Amino acid sequence: MTQRIPVWDIPTRVFHWSLALSFTGAYVTGESERWALVHVTCGYTLLGLIVFRLVWGVAGTRYARFSEFVSGPSSVIRYISGLIQGTPTRYVGHNPAGALAILALLLLGLVSAVSGWMVYGDVDGDWLEKLHEVVSSLMLAIVFVHIAGVLISCRLHGENLVKSMLDGRKQGEENQAITALRPIVALFVLASLIGFWVWSFSDTLKITKAADSVMTAEDKMTKP
């Protein structure tokens, strides 16, 4: 008998929604000088998250491991032909087509963040800037494919996968459940993210505060 069992550990969920936020933040601020610090901070966040996910793909719980969801082209073709015939195989973890999009997102995210870092560090070459732009746009396209794939899977299998990425649970047999949610690792990831953002903006806050107190002092001097 199937029931809602834990499938996604907490670090995987924290990773997912932080990645989605940092990618969106980096993408929407990419063209603006005013928001450059937010853009760069989102980019470094994305890089840190992907490095974490590469480690978690080896050290994480069952369905977070690459060995569980990375498969050869034949499984992807089999899954897609099942999809076309209207009889897709249901997976408790990632399905082979979804896994392919996930790997592409991780790889493109890595290239996008490292090329952005190099552009920001004034490494020479227009090609780097071009690469950064092209890879980021490609990533956006795959994000749309990913979201469309998730929505199609929700419909085909009659389950809410977005809710699963929030509460970590999916329909399955009791013996398919993960046995640990790893909250301490998730706390460490969250604390690192918050610490990094506070550190990144601390200089800007100090400058803004200093400018505010100079303006207040000037105001006092000019008023009778």
Identity of the residue, 167 or 218, whose beta carbon is nearer to ligand HEM in the bound complex: 167
DSSP E strand stretches across the chain: 3-6, 169-172
Q: How far is the CB of 110 from ligand HEM (least distance, A)?
A: 11
Q: Does 111 bind ligand HEM (CB under 6 A)?
A: no
Sign of dihedral through CA atoms 47, 205, 133, 129?
Answer: negative
Among 10, 12, 49, 131, binds ligand HEM (CB under 6 A): 12
SS3 assignment, position 149: helix
Q: Are the C-beta atoms of 64 and 54 separated by less than 8 Å?
A: no
Taking the CB of residue 47, how many other CB atoms lie within 10 A of it? Answer: 18
169: part of which helix (H) or strand (E)? strand 169-172
| Rounded-to-integer distance, Cα 168 and Cα 11, Å | 10
Among 105, 113, 135, 189, binds ligand HEM (CB under 6 A): 105
Q: Does 53 bind ligand HEM (CB under 6 A)?
A: yes
Q: How far is the CB of 125 from ligand HEM (least distance, A)?
A: 26
Task: Find the binding residues for ligand HEM in span 126-155 (CB under 6 A).
Answer: 143, 146-147, 150
Q: Does 94 bind ligand HEM (CB under 6 A)?
A: yes
186: part of which helix (H) or strand (E)? helix 183-222
Q: Does 98 bind ligand HEM (CB under 6 A)?
A: yes
Q: Does 76 bind ligand HEM (CB under 6 A)?
A: no
Task: Find the binding residues for ligand HEM in span 22-51 (CB under 6 A).
Answer: 23
Angle at 181 between CA 48 and CA 103, to 5 degrees: 45
Interface residues toward ligand HEM, by CB under 6 A: 12, 15-16, 19-20, 23, 53, 64, 94, 98, 102, 105-106, 143, 146-147, 150, 161-162, 165
